[in-house]
Every structure is written in structure tokens, then in C-alpha cells.
């Protein structure tokens, strides 16, 4: 898989990134550690050398699983993790980073990201300058190689960038969820900030495996995802029907088509989670699909069947 630069750093990332929210188990059902470890390793072997995790995924459990899967090839892998919104004071950032280093069994983190802006989920408001000062200090120490932000608006991204180099933005972004395109994407393109799209398959909706009457376990976070509800869900099914002939032309799955479209967007890379090794191998193959300009435009228009009817909220869930 052809590598890309992370922002303006010298870090080389794979355009498909292994997502490990599910590895933390919390807010997911039916996840087994052994399966996740195997999937992360198979992803690495298939060319997905970049893995994204966070301290809040199972309170460090996801980070520990990543370490179990990749410690022996650490020097060939790129680790991205995140500090949560309740740990954004200077000392808290330093402590959180040290915990993540321990969980990941490494002495450096390639990309360290602010998971959510301060103030969300009833967290204390901390000036972004204070958080960035801590991140800059960690970078000077060599504990982290690059700084990123996640779930930031353009305005929040611009403010953070006043206090240090930001090399990535991690927003929810898929063919069915495109808020970032009209908000932060132009700024990212102009400033060479990599976009690491999460929920790049709209939490599995773009795989086409959920029928019109599917119901999620209430403990599954997708039960509250706006895209799986009411008319949004009906429109998604219509769009998927229109995408199927394009996927058939490329002899690929709907998921692979959606990922291929996404990584063809400006500055964009796709984080994709997986429950098993087959999903990982399929995700990796998406990196080899070449879509023509006409096909990209056709897929773009089909996606708007869903996105043109969504509200202006950047949050994908009714939490």
C-alpha cells in the first residue's frame, strides 16, 4: 500500500488506518481480545501499518491490545492515540501521555491527538494554549512525534494552530456523513493538515449488510446513530442500491468502494475498524481500487441522497 505523509511531518502513514475503538470493548458487543489482536496483526501484514486508538477506549484496554499485536514490529508501525477531554490541563496531558506510553509498551507515540475539545461531555473548559503547551513539551522531549486534533471545528482547529503545528484532524467523515467538507477541509488542504476520517464506513452502514428492518442491541453505540434512524436509514438503503452496480464494475464490495472514494478526497485517509481478519483484508484491498473522475462524481452524487437531508450538527449520535 502506497504511503502518504502525515501533515508536514516525516511520518509515513498508510491511507487505510486500522481503527481500534471496538478493541476497548466498552460500547460494543461481541468483541474478543484474541480476534482483535489477530485482526490488527493481519492488517499490518496487509499494509495497514498505521493504527489509531485512544486512552478512553476501554480505559486503556484498546492501547494494551495494540501493544500485544504489534510490539515486535513497533519500529515499522505508526501509533496514533488520543488524550480525552477530561485530561486537557497541562499536568493531566503529561500524565495521560505517560499512561498511554505504558499501555502501548513504547517510548514514543507517533501521533498524539486531542480527542475532543475541552468542555464537551461536561468536561472542564481548559484554554487550548495550556493543552498545546503540554503537547509541544512532549514533542520536544521526543515522547510524541506529531500533534493532531479530533472532533474540532475549523474555528477550533485554527485557534489550536496558533500555539503549535497541527498535522492532522480526525473528524467523522464518510460518503454518508460529510460535514467536514464544508467546515474544516478547505483549511486542512491549504495548510497541509492530514484528515484521518473516522466512521469511514458510517459505522458499517456503507457495507450494505444491514437490512431495512435491522435493530441494534441497545448497548451498541450505533443504536443512537442518526444515520440508522427513520428516513435517514431509508435514504441510505436507496443510495446503497445505486452504489451496487459501481461496486460490481470494480468487482469489489460496497465497503471497499466507499473507502476507495474516501481516500480519493483531498488530504483524506480512512480509519476502518474490523472485528475479524477477513474484514481487515477486505479493507486493505480498497487501497488498490482506482476510481475515474466520472465515477468519483457519480458516487459523490449518490452520497448526497443521504447527506442533503441531514441537519447541521457535526455529532453523528443522538447522545
For 291, the grid coordinates are 476510481
Please, what is the Cα angle at 20 between 16 and 23, to 5 degrees?
Answer: 150
For 151, the grid coordinates are 472532533
Exposure string for 243-274, b = 16+ CB within 10 A, e = fewer: beebbeeeebbbbbbbbbbbbbbebbbbbbbb
Q: Residue 47, exposed/middle/buried by CB under 10 A (0-12, 13-18, 19+)?
A: middle
Bridge partners of 273? 19
Could you write out the DSSP letters of every residue in 131-151? HHHHHHHHHHHTSEEEEEEES
For 303, the grid coordinates are 452520497
SS3 assignment, position 95: helix
Q: From the CB of residue 290, how many other CB atoms can be counted at a distance below 10 Å?
A: 8
CB 289 within 8 A of CB 260: yes
Nearest to 122 by CA among 82, 158, 84: 84
Q: What is the dihedral of CA 223, 227, 230, 236, to 10 degrees?
A: -130
**Alpha-carbon distance 203 to 188, whole Å?**
24
Annotated catalytic residue 187: no
The DSSP secondary-structure symbol of 153 reads -
Which one from 57, 79, 198, 233 is the annotated catalytic residue?
57
Q: Which residues contact 239 (CB under 8 A, 6 or more apart)?
A: 175, 176, 302, 303, 305, 306
Positions marked active-site: 57
Amino acid at each position: 500500500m502506497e504511503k502518504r505523509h502525515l501533515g508536514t511531518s516525516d511520518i509515513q502513514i498508510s491511507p487505510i488506518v486500522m481503527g481500534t475503538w471496538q478493541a476497548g470493548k466498552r460500547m460494543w458487543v461481541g468483541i474478543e481480545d484474541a480476534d482483535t489482536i489477530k485482526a490488527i496483526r493481519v492488517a499490518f501484514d496487509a499494509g495497514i501499518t498505521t493504527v489509531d486508538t485512544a486512552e478512553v477506549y476501554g480505559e486503556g484496554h484498546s492501547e494494551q491490545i495494540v501493544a500485544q499485536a504489534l510490539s515486535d514490529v513497533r519500529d515499522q508501525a505508526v501509533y496514533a492515540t488520543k488524550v480525552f477531554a477530561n485530561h486537557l490541563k497541562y499536568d493531566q496531558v503529561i500524565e495521560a501521555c505517560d499512561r498511554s506510553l505504558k499501555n502501548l509498551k513504547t517510548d514514543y507515540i507517533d501521533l498524539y491527538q486531542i480527542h475532543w475539545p475541552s468542555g464537551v461531555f461536561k468536561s472542564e473548559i481548559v484554554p487550548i494554549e495550556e493543552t498545546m503547551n503540554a503537547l509541544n513539551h512532549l514533542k520536544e522531549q521526543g515522547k510524541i512525534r506529531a500533534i493532531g486534533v479530533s472532533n474540532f471545528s475549523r474555528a477550533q482547529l485554527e485557534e489550536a494552530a496558533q500555539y503549535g503545528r497541527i498535522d492532522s484532524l480526525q473528524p467523522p467523515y464518510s460518503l454518508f456523513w460529510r460535514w467536514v467538507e464544508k467546515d474544516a477541509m478547505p483549511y486542512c488542504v491549504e495548510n497541509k493538515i492530514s484528515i484521518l476520517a473516522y466512521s469511514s464506513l458510517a459505522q458499517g452502514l456503507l457495507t450494505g449488510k444491514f437490512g431495512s428492518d435491522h435493530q441494534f442491541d441497545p448497548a451498541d453505540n450505533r443504536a443512537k446513530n442518526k444515520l440508522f434512524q427513520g428516513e435517514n436509514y431509508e435514504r441510505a438503503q436507496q443510495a446503497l442500491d445505486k452504489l451496487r452496480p459501481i461496486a460490481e464494475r470494480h468487482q469489489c464490495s460496497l465497503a471497499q468502494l466507499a473507502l476507495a472514494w474516501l481516500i480519493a478526497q483531498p488530504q483524506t485517509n480512512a480509519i476502518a475498524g474490523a472485528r475479524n481478519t477477513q474484514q481487515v483484508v477486505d479493507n486493505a484491498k480498497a487501497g488498490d481500487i482506482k476510481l475515474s473522475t466520472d465515477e468519483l462524481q457519480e458516487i459523490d452524487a449518490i452520497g448526497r441522497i443521504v447527506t442533503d437531508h441531514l441537519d447541521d450538527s457535526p455529532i453523528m449520535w443522538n447522545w
